[in-house]
Amino acid sequence: MAKVTKTEITIRTMNENADKPMAEVVLLIAKANNVTEAVARGAYRWCVNKGVAAGKVESNRGVTDAKLIKQVKLEGRQYKAKLKAKERTVKRMAKEVAAETLLPPSEVAKIKAANLARMKEVSSKQKKYNQVARPEGDGVADFDAEVARAEVATMLEDEFAVPKFLSKAQLKEMI
C-alpha cells in the first residue's frame, strides 16, 4: 500500500476545486492535511508557481471592506482633531507660562549690568595692545612723498620705466 503525502493531497484538492477561489481552496487544503491556513496558503502558492496544480494566486491586498475603510478614515479625522486641540492647548499654556516667568524691570536691569561687568572683565584679560591700530605712527624712514609721486608718474608715462634705485648694469642683468 502506497503512502499518500500531503503534497499529493494538496494537488488533488486543488485540481478538484479549480473553479473555486483561493481562499476556499486554502481552507479545504488546511482541513485535509491537518495544517494551519498559513501553511496551506504556502502550499497552494507553491503548487501554482510550479505548475503542478490548477489554481490562481490571489492577493489579499485588494480585498477591502467598505465599512472598515470608513471607520479608519473617521478615526483618522478624530485623531487629527484631537492633535490640533492639544497643540492649541500647549501653545496657550506656553504663552501663559512665558507671561508668568517675566521678571520685573528692576531685576532685568540688575542681570544686564552683571552680564556687562562680566563681559568687560573677560575682554580686559584678552586685550593685546600691540594689535590695535594707532592714529599716527613713525612712518617709513627716509620717505619723501613728493619723490614717490614723481617716480610713479614717470612709470605711468613711459611704456617701460626703470626705478631710480636700479643701475643700468642691474637692469641689463634682469633683462
In a shared domain, residues 45 and 69 = no
In a shared domain, residues 78 and 100 = yes
Query: 93: domain range?
Result: 64-124
Res. 13 pLDDT band, cuts 50 70 90: very high
In a shared domain, residues 30 and 71 = no
In a shared domain, residues 120 and 74 = yes
Report the C-alpha gap between 48 and 35 in whole angstroms.
Answer: 19
In a shared domain, residues 115 and 70 = yes
Residue 58 lies in a domain: no
pTM of the model: 0.36
Task: Give the number of domains in the chain.
Answer: 2
The runs of H, that is alpha helices, within the chain are 6-16, 22-33, 37-50, 66-100, 105-126, 145-157, 168-174
Task: Render pLDDT for 124-162 as a digit per residue (tens, 0 to 9).
Answer: 777 666 666 666 666 677 878 888 888 888 777 766 666
Task: Return the DSSP state at 136.
Answer: S
Cα dihedral 158, 163, 167, 170 sign: negative
